[in-house]
Amino acid sequence: MRMVDVIEKKRNGKELTNEEIRFAVNGYTQGEIPDYQMSALAMAIFFQDMTTAERAELTMAMVESGDQIDLSAVEGIKVDKHSTGGVGDKTTIALAPLVAALGVPVAKMSGRGLGHTGGTIDKLESIPGFTVEISIDEFTNLVNKNKLAVVGQTGNLAPADKKLYALRDVTATVNSIPLIASSIMSKKIASGADAIVLDVKTGTGAFMKELDQAKELAEAMVGIGKSLGRNTMAIISDMNQPLGYTIGNALEVKEAIDLLYGRGPDDLRELCLRLGSQMVYFAGKAESIEDARKKLVEVIENGKARETLKTFIKAQNGDPSIVDEPEKLAKAKYLIEVQAKSDGFVAGIEADQIGTAAMLLGAGRATKDSEIDLAVGMELHKKIGDFVKAGESIATLHSNREDVEEIIERVRDAYRFSKEDIGAPTLIYDEIK
């Protein structure tokens, strides 16, 4: 087989065979196919798209290029959740103990963040003592015992995807639905998921800015999951403003804990209940989505979800007392208010800008090797639809430095005001099953 023929076939809009897809992916991963030929194929896919069968094969070729986590020793149906990423997205931290409290095994392999704030692991590491440096054996034992464990991502998960993603980044081929969908799904499947619940974000702070793009991506991922025998569904949720009120690692952990006390922001709670109901249903722990939702509300109200969180934290060396006393989490030195300049209803909050402001405070990594300050970030006081008076605080920065004028301006500029109340935005636009 010759790579040039594979490129030409895709360029002409034909469907590639499984053998052709494997030939390209394996050859590229092993260094036998050069970057320029793989770039040409990526560009041909960008313009000509792929069928669901091709997307599924591409996904499996990337899965099989590296380690696959064997979770067969974990009892029950392992349901993973994935979010395409957003500002203030602390869903996993609340959701994992919530569903685990109902007996759903949550075997989560997570990464660190290269975004506005840390990833789930960074957030969890703001709990004193907490570690994700556990062996895979320990990880599966903990899931069997406590129904919940989190481990750091192995470096050899879908290496073909890693190499191809880096190439796409410099060849203007990141934004291709079949390539994004297979990239994300390859990592989920290599992590051992039996079923997958996806949270595809859309809006100013999301990877997919437009709703129809987000739907297309969700449909592509659900199509791949189902073709590969995994129960898969997606929720399309709003990212036209940050999720919840906090952005920053320790601050987000505190907000997630609040939710397990039955407090916490409405948007975060609703999203957790919607995603959680699907996870519980897929895991066979409820008869219907409605039944699953009822059970989730029960474990919030009877404290079982908080107990599950404590057991999980303790098992991974963390201090479980932070669940009852979240004020023990790291705190920044300075609290600095951001005041509104005029009256009006909040009509929009550029989530991207808020995320960048949090990163500039030190909550996120500018480069792979940057150190994160787990204590810093911000708390928003106003969200879309709220009325604000001139001089009123719209946000509090949690900072370890005082020279934050530029960041204050950035947060202020991220808010858009209007004379009329536009009401709260839609949180969940659609479900793809």
| 110 versus 183: smaller Cβ distance to ligand URA | 183
Residues 400-419 that bind ligand URA (CB under 6 A): none
Give the nearest distance from C-beta 111 to ligand URA in angstroms. Answer: 10
| 44 versus 184: smaller Cβ distance to ligand URA | 184
DSSP sequence for 321-386: GGTT-GGGS---SEEEEEE-SS-EEEEEE-HHHHHHHHHHHTSS-SSTTPPP-TT-EEEE---TT-
DSSP sequence for 169-210: HTTT-SS-HHHHHHHHHHHHHHTT-SEEEEEEEESTTSSB-S
Q: Which residue is nearest to ligand URA (CB)?
A: 183
Where do we find the tokens 């840390």?
118
Give the nearest distance from C-beta 145 to ligand URA in angstroms. Answer: 31
| 167 versus 349: smaller Cβ distance to ligand URA | 167
How far apart, in Å, are the Cα atoms of 280 and each of 179, 199, 287, 368, 374? 29, 15, 9, 35, 31
**If you compute the radius of gyration of the chain from its CA atoms, what whole number of angstroms results?**
22
- How many angstroms separate the CA atoms of 46 and 303, rounded? 49
| 250 versus 432: smaller Cβ distance to ligand URA | 432
Active-site residues, by number, are: 82, 161, 168, 183, 187
Helix ranges restricted to H, 83-190: 91-100, 120-124, 136-146, 159-169, 177-190
Residues 181-200 that bind ligand URA (CB under 6 A): 183-184
Residues 118-177 that bind ligand URA (CB under 6 A): 165, 174
Give the nearest distance from C-beta 84 to ligand URA in angstroms. Answer: 7
Q: Is the dihedral of CA 232, 233, 239, 244 positive or negative?
A: negative
| Phi, psi angle pair for 405, to nearest 5° | -55, -45
> For ligand URA, which stretch binds (CB under 6 A), given 11-19, 178-186, 349-357, 389-397?
178-186
Identify the residue among 44, 180, 286, 323 touching ligand URA (CB under 6 A): 180
| 165 versus 261: smaller Cβ distance to ligand URA | 165
| 88 versus 178: smaller Cβ distance to ligand URA | 178
Where do we find the tokens 């409605």?
290
Task: Please give the size of the binding site for ligand URA, defined by CB under 6 A.
Answer: 6
Q: Which three-class secondary structure state does DSSP give residue 416?
A: strand
**Sheet of strand 334-339: strand arrangement:** 246-247, 377-380, 393-399, 334-339
Give the nearest distance from C-beta 63 to ligand URA in angstroms. Answer: 13
Q: Is 374 in the site for ligand URA (CB under 6 A)?
A: no
- How many angstroms separate the CA atoms of 328 and 147, rounded? 26
- How many angstroms separate the CA atoms of 128 and 147, rounded? 22
Give the nearest distance from C-beta 187 to ligand URA in angstroms. Answer: 6
Give the nearest distance from C-beta 180 to ligand URA in angstroms. Answer: 4
Provide the pairing of β-strand 246-247 with 377-380.
antiparallel
| 165 versus 417: smaller Cβ distance to ligand URA | 165
Give the nearest distance from C-beta 181 to ligand URA in angstroms. Answer: 8
> For ligand URA, which stretch binds (CB under 6 A), given 119-127, 179-187, 308-316, 403-411?
179-187
List interacting residues with ligand URA (CB under 6 A). Answer: 165, 174, 179-180, 183-184
